[in-house]
Amino acid sequence: MLSFSIKITNLFNGFLLLTLLILFFPYSLSAQSRILLVNQAETEDIPALSELLYNMNTAFKEKMEAEVVFYNEDEVYIPIQETPVLLEKSRKDNISYLIINTFELDEDNITINSTALESEKGNTIFSLSSSGSISLGIERKLDFIINKINQNFIEEIESSTAGKVSKEIDKEDLFALVFGDPSGTEDQKIQIPILINGDYKGEISLYPEESADIKILYQQLLDYLSPLLTDDILAGFPLPEDPQEYRVSTILEESGIKSSYNSSELYLSISIPADMLKEQNLGVRNYQSPDRENLIEQSDFSFYLNLYHNQQWIWESIGADNTHSLPGSIQFNTAINFRNWIFTGDYTLNYPYQEEYPSLSIIHDFTGISSRLILGDFSVDNRGAQKFGRYQGISFARKPEITSADGAENPLFQFTLESPSFVRIFLNGYPVKSRQLPPGRFNLTDLPLRSGINEIRLSIEDSFGSVQEQEFLIPYASDGLSHRDIDYSASIGISPYSLELPLITGNFLYGFSFMTAGINIQSDFSDEMAGLSFLFPTRAGTFELEANQSWSSLRNSLGFSAALSYFFHSANNPRIPTFSLFSRYNSPAFFPVGSTEESPPDLLEIKGTLSYNLADFIYIQPGASFSFGREENGNSGMVSLGLRKKFSRNLSASMDFKEKFLPDGSSDFTVSLLIHINDYNDNQSLTVKSSNSQQGADISWKKRFQGANSSSLSAGISGLPFSGDTESTLSLRGSTSFNRFYGSLSSTLRSDGGNYTSYFQSRFETALVFADRHIALSRPITDSFAIVIPVFNLENLNVGINPRSDSYEFRSDFLGNPVVNNLRSYNSKKIAVNLAEPQIDIDTELGTSTFTLFPRYKSGTVIYTGTRNNVYITGRLVDGQGSALSFETGTLTDQEGEEFLFFTDREGVFFIYGLQRGECTLNINNSSYILNIQIPEETEKKLDLGDLKVLREDRS
């Protein structure tokens, strides 16, 4: 009897349950019977069970070419391919029973316990067992193994084969039982699983022989190996004389790769040494770079045009005078991408008319060196005392986030695994990630490091249970660089639409093993400044030293500036206070580029803060800052004390004390209290704030509404409304975000000393996007986007993107195809596509339903979802007398050259799934029989070929 118990982290991932069962089943399958799932659990949640089983559909179609079929809410039929050796025995109506004994559903998990697959005699045919932890959160690998083919099964096979098989049947004779030919037949091409370093990778075609030196298809094997092996290893492979066939030992073992062919259980196992494998990135937020072969490429040409409209109605009552006005603005924002050269533009039209100049730029990213070129409007990348702002000119700067899909980050640490191992990563004494990893070389690239020296420990447990630990230290600062990393920027530009002298700015930083050093320059041809910077992460904290020299030709002065900053944070002890200190000294003759006599820098500036966890959920934060200005400016300062208390998940409060010392010698003391309350789901919040410097209080309330669209409503009161002499405000605001646009309405009433002003404001946002000859409406785009286009069998159906609890993040509607508007450039993003129709054809196939994107800056991508490969054919092979040809094998080749292997059951019946309409050719192995088949375009799902006669003279 088959039994399994699986705990799944969410309903959407439930299809992995049967996927993994199929992946580790080492036999070719042929559709002949169905599995009937009968719910006998004590649960009312039949729809949830149905949803789980429906999501399994994708896995069945990709791996077993079967599907989940619903007949009613209580029974679910799954047509499944069967191995005649294991499950051939006919049953009533060709149905095997899978009975769900337990179906438990809570907020986050679903647990299924079931017994399954009984023959009509009630005997167990085979059983499966699971090994390892059964968590689908990629903490442990799920490994199903066949552990028993019992005597009852052998007896059934014996009785049904009329004595052809003895009770002492050997596994090596199973091949002959299935295919009707000896396992050594050279012309018998079969498809078997391929395992690389213990991981199932798919299936491969081979010609089984008596020796282990089997023949395989060269290109098929290369397709599995090329994503794993380094380029120099692939370049060393000998070219075959016949690319269609190749000896395993020739292509693998002569290159130092071991292989093993199991002729009894029919699978090929390959072991690749770790030093031959490509390096993989390993971290907390990103496991590895996305597989380029599975990426959806962006369009060569795309653009978006954002539209923002803001309209105000203002009524003012000042004494006896009443006035009103209608100010507003329309903003256009666009990006046009042609082969990663990007034109961007931004223009705001204000009315009544106010002069505004457009912002225009041409941008190109160089992924090989992680740098960005900007021609036109740009913002200066400044450091230290450098001037910053918007300029027009040319800028070239390194951007570490700019990488190619297969580009590797600068590794923090590298390690090698010789065998499959379970790796635990500890950061400063705390576990941050655990993962089962295959053999290979890994770069540790992405950890949540803290400022200072970080202690990293790796605990590596191999498949034999032996544990090895590695420890190392990593210095880190938020503004620092890792060892041998560089950062740079250079720009020259003028103030927008002006004729003044240009501003030149340059920076360069280099990461050493113990510090980051940098140099910077800036000049506007009247003032110049150059500086050095040094950053040291240590166990005692992070120190940064900066020194600048200025020269002013207008003032004929030479000045000097120095700054020291210090930051300490205990990475592994929250009871130790966090402390920061900043101080800067400017000589009287120091004037940074862009400073004027009216706004010279202060001579000395000191700031410091301390954060301390006084007790559980009680935080204290004292701080102070002082500025000692030049004689004409005077001195100023401030001391503060902040208290924070979190009473529960839903209630927190804070109190702040501030004493300000003003340049005229006076002071100002304020005390403020803030209370924040939110509900359990964070859908509603109330905030109350009051201080001794105001009458009344600031009270704000916000409510978020769950549903297909994101909506919110907020209200606020400030001061004492209608009290007469004090300033007060009443406000009400509502917003909603639909599939194609965002809108908001707000109303504000402000009173001050008997004068009243009323504001009513509306805002509307939408976007028009284009990519690959497709156009659509969307919410505004900030970076990159993707348009999802249903094609073939999904062309007239609505699809939903990234399902949520009660809706979809994006979906198609009467306005057109869905647009994913929130893609971040140079970040891997998975897109899940589902049918969004309330009632759909249960036989509708999605084809590929999960897509991986790695968009470049401000790019557009088109995703086509749907498939033409949704036809299956069936037929029956008979001899000249009409008798069934049992256990025959053959191939069907479609018009694109893809081969589909099949074999017949005892009745001579075969099924071939996943075909597209058009011409194809059917071949029977060990015969000259060839049949040209035309699958008409009007074929809906199934094409029945009927009886196909294979005459004796056709047999070889």
Higher pLDDT, 476 or 335: 335
Question: What's the chain's length in residues?
Answer: 956
Block residue for tokens 């025959």: 888
Q: What is the pLDDT of residues 773-823, one digit of tens each?
A: 999 999 999 999 999 999 877 888 888 888 876 678 888 989 999 999 999
Residues 6+ apart with CB under 8 A from 98: 35, 36, 37, 38, 114, 115, 116, 117
Q: What is the pLDDT of residues 725-738, one digit of tens each?
A: 678 889 999 999 88
- pLDDT at residue 506 greater than cutoff 90: yes
Contact between 171 and 264 (Cβ < 8 Å) = yes
Question: Would the pTM count as exceeding 0.75?
Answer: no
CATH number given to 871-954: 2.60.40.10
pLDDT tens digits, 658-677: 999 988 888 889 999 999 89
Alpha-carbon distances of 460 from 22, 116, 131, 197, 470, rounded to whole Å: 29, 37, 19, 17, 8
Tens digit of each residue's pLDDT (9 = 90 or more) over 133-181: 222 222 222 222 222 223 333 333 334 333 333 333 344 444 444 444 4
Sequence spans of domains, the chain: 1-178, 188-277, 292-300+769-865, 871-954
Are 420 and 448 within 8 A, CB to CB? no
E strand spans, 692-783: 697-705, 710-719, 728-737, 741-752, 755-771, 774-778
What is the tens place of the pLDDT at every residue in 536-580? 998 888 999 999 999 988 888 899 999 999 998 876 677 788 899
Decide which of 920 and 345 is more confident.
345
Q: Spell out the residues 6+ positions from residue 898 whose beta carbon is closer than 8 angstroms to its own.
A: none
CA–CA distance, 354 with 330 (Å, rounded to integer): 12
In the chain, what's the furthest Cα-to-Cα distance? 115
Instruction: Summarize pLDDT for 607-632 with one digit per residue, the tens.
Output: 999 988 877 668 899 999 998 887 66
Asked if residue 82 has pLDDT above 60, the reply is no
791, amino acid identity: V
Cβ-proximal residues to 827 (8 Å cutoff; 6+ apart), any chain = 854, 855
Place of tokens 């007896």: 155
The continuous run of DSSP H or E covering 30 comes out as strand 30-39
**Domains 188-277 and 292-300+769-865 in one fold:** no
711-760 pLDDT, tens digit each: 899 999 988 776 666 788 899 999 998 889 999 999 999 888 778 899 99
- According to DSSP, the β-strands at 871-878 and 942-949 are parallel
> Taking phi first (over 0 means left), then psi (-120 to 50 degrees means alpha), and beta for anything else, what does residue 235 get?
alpha
Span between the terminal Cα atoms of the chain, in Å = 41
Looking at residue 548, its pLDDT comes to 95
Average confidence score pLDDT of the chain? 75
Q: Is the pLDDT of residue 764 over 60?
A: yes
Q: How far apart are CA 953 and CA 503, in angstroms?
A: 89
Superfamily of domain covering 188-277: PapC, N-terminal domain (3.10.20.410)
Select the more confidently predicted residue: 869 or 51.
869
The Cα–Cα gap between 45 and 554 comes to: 81
Class of the domain covering 292-300+769-865: mainly beta
